[in-house]
Structure 1
Protein backbone atom coordinates (compact mmCIF):
# COMPACT_ATOMS: atom_id res chain seq x y z
CA UNK A 1 0.00 0.00 0.00
CA UNK A 2 1.45 3.34 -0.98
CA UNK A 3 1.01 6.55 0.94
CA UNK A 4 2.39 10.04 0.99
CA UNK A 5 4.03 11.31 4.15
CA UNK A 6 4.28 15.07 4.39
CA UNK A 7 7.09 16.33 6.59
CA UNK A 8 8.17 19.82 7.44
CA UNK A 9 11.74 20.86 6.67
CA UNK A 10 13.10 19.99 10.13
CA UNK A 11 11.45 16.58 10.17
CA UNK A 12 12.78 15.79 6.70
CA UNK A 13 16.32 16.88 7.64
CA UNK A 14 16.20 14.80 10.83
CA UNK A 15 14.98 11.80 8.85
CA UNK A 16 17.67 12.30 6.23
CA UNK A 17 20.39 12.58 8.90
CA UNK A 18 19.19 9.43 10.70
CA UNK A 19 19.08 7.51 7.42
CA UNK A 20 22.61 8.60 6.53
CA UNK A 21 23.89 7.69 10.01
CA UNK A 22 22.37 4.22 9.76
CA UNK A 23 23.23 3.71 6.11
CA UNK A 24 19.64 3.01 5.12
CA UNK A 25 16.96 4.81 3.15
CA UNK A 26 14.70 7.48 4.60
CA UNK A 27 11.79 5.16 3.83
CA UNK A 28 13.34 2.38 5.92
CA UNK A 29 13.90 4.76 8.85
CA UNK A 30 10.27 5.92 8.66
CA UNK A 31 9.00 2.34 8.46
CA UNK A 32 11.08 1.35 11.50
CA UNK A 33 9.75 4.31 13.43
CA UNK A 34 6.18 3.36 12.59
CA UNK A 35 6.74 -0.28 13.60
CA UNK A 36 8.34 0.84 16.89
CA UNK A 37 5.46 3.23 17.60
CA UNK A 38 2.85 0.56 16.94
CA UNK A 39 4.70 -1.99 19.11
CA UNK A 40 5.02 0.48 22.01
CA UNK A 41 1.35 1.44 21.72
CA UNK A 42 0.26 -2.20 21.73
CA UNK A 43 2.48 -2.89 24.75
CA UNK A 44 1.02 0.08 26.65
CA UNK A 45 -2.47 -1.17 25.88
CA UNK A 46 -1.67 -4.67 27.15
CA UNK A 47 -0.08 -3.30 30.33
CA UNK A 48 -3.11 -1.07 30.93
CA UNK A 49 -5.50 -3.99 30.48
CA UNK A 50 -3.45 -6.18 32.82
CA UNK A 51 -3.28 -3.39 35.40
CA UNK A 52 -7.05 -2.96 35.35
CA UNK A 53 -7.53 -6.70 35.77
CA UNK A 54 -5.14 -6.89 38.71
CA UNK A 55 -6.77 -3.88 40.37
CA UNK A 56 -10.20 -5.45 39.94
CA UNK A 57 -9.20 -8.92 41.13
CA UNK A 58 -7.21 -7.67 44.11
CA UNK A 59 -9.24 -4.56 44.98
CA UNK A 60 -9.98 -5.62 48.54
CA UNK A 61 -6.36 -6.48 49.33
CA UNK A 62 -5.13 -3.26 47.75
CA UNK A 63 -7.66 -1.29 49.78
CA UNK A 64 -6.54 -3.00 53.01
CA UNK A 65 -2.88 -2.26 52.24
CA UNK A 66 -3.66 1.37 51.56
CA UNK A 67 -5.45 1.90 54.86
Structure 2
Protein backbone atom coordinates (compact mmCIF):
# COMPACT_ATOMS: atom_id res chain seq x y z
CA UNK A 1 0.00 0.00 0.00
CA UNK A 2 1.33 3.42 -0.90
CA UNK A 3 1.06 6.32 1.49
CA UNK A 4 1.86 10.01 1.40
CA UNK A 5 3.48 11.62 4.41
CA UNK A 6 3.11 15.34 4.84
CA UNK A 7 5.65 17.01 7.08
CA UNK A 8 5.86 20.63 8.05
CA UNK A 9 9.03 22.41 7.02
CA UNK A 10 10.73 22.02 10.37
CA UNK A 11 10.19 18.26 10.50
CA UNK A 12 11.15 17.78 6.86
CA UNK A 13 14.38 19.68 7.41
CA UNK A 14 15.18 17.72 10.59
CA UNK A 15 14.55 14.46 8.74
CA UNK A 16 16.79 15.54 5.89
CA UNK A 17 19.56 16.51 8.33
CA UNK A 18 19.22 13.11 9.99
CA UNK A 19 19.29 11.13 6.75
CA UNK A 20 22.15 12.86 4.91
CA UNK A 21 25.02 12.11 7.33
CA UNK A 22 23.82 8.52 7.61
CA UNK A 23 23.93 8.17 3.84
CA UNK A 24 20.30 7.10 3.83
CA UNK A 25 17.22 8.45 2.16
CA UNK A 26 14.53 10.23 4.12
CA UNK A 27 12.27 7.35 3.12
CA UNK A 28 14.64 4.81 4.71
CA UNK A 29 14.83 6.81 7.94
CA UNK A 30 11.04 7.00 8.16
CA UNK A 31 10.68 3.26 7.48
CA UNK A 32 13.17 2.49 10.23
CA UNK A 33 11.30 4.75 12.64
CA UNK A 34 8.02 3.01 11.83
CA UNK A 35 9.62 -0.43 12.28
CA UNK A 36 11.11 0.63 15.62
CA UNK A 37 7.77 2.00 16.79
CA UNK A 38 5.89 -1.17 15.83
CA UNK A 39 8.48 -3.42 17.47
CA UNK A 40 8.45 -1.35 20.67
CA UNK A 41 4.64 -1.49 20.86
CA UNK A 42 4.66 -5.25 20.23
CA UNK A 43 7.16 -5.76 23.07
CA UNK A 44 5.13 -3.56 25.41
CA UNK A 45 1.95 -5.50 24.59
CA UNK A 46 3.73 -8.79 25.26
CA UNK A 47 5.02 -7.52 28.61
CA UNK A 48 1.54 -6.30 29.60
CA UNK A 49 -0.03 -9.65 28.67
CA UNK A 50 2.65 -11.60 30.54
CA UNK A 51 2.22 -9.37 33.60
CA UNK A 52 -1.55 -9.97 33.59
CA UNK A 53 -1.08 -13.74 33.40
CA UNK A 54 1.51 -13.71 36.18
CA UNK A 55 -0.71 -11.53 38.37
CA UNK A 56 -3.52 -14.08 38.06
CA UNK A 57 -1.15 -16.93 38.97
CA UNK A 58 0.23 -15.05 41.96
CA UNK A 59 -3.23 -14.05 43.16
CA UNK A 60 -4.38 -17.66 43.07
CA UNK A 61 -1.27 -18.71 44.99
CA UNK A 62 -1.77 -16.02 47.63
CA UNK A 63 -5.42 -17.04 48.05
CA UNK A 64 -4.40 -20.66 48.64
CA UNK A 65 -1.83 -19.59 51.21
CA UNK A 66 -4.32 -17.57 53.27
Aligned to 2:54: 54
Contact 1:15 1:26 in 2 (8 A): yes
* TM-score normalised according to structure 2 size: 0.85
In structure 1, stretches of 5+ residues that fail to align are none
Contact 1:19 1:29 in 2 (8 A): yes
Aligned to 2:39: 39
In structure 2, stretches of 5+ residues that fail to align are none
The yes-or-no answer on 1:3 pairing with 2:9 is no
Q: Distance in 2 between matches of 1:59 and 1:29?
A: 45
Moved over 4 A (4+): 60-63
Change (3 A) 1:62 1:44: farther
Residues paired across the two proteins, number: 63
Change (3 A) 1:56 1:16: same
What does 1:3-22 correspond to in 2, within 5 Å?
3-22=3-22
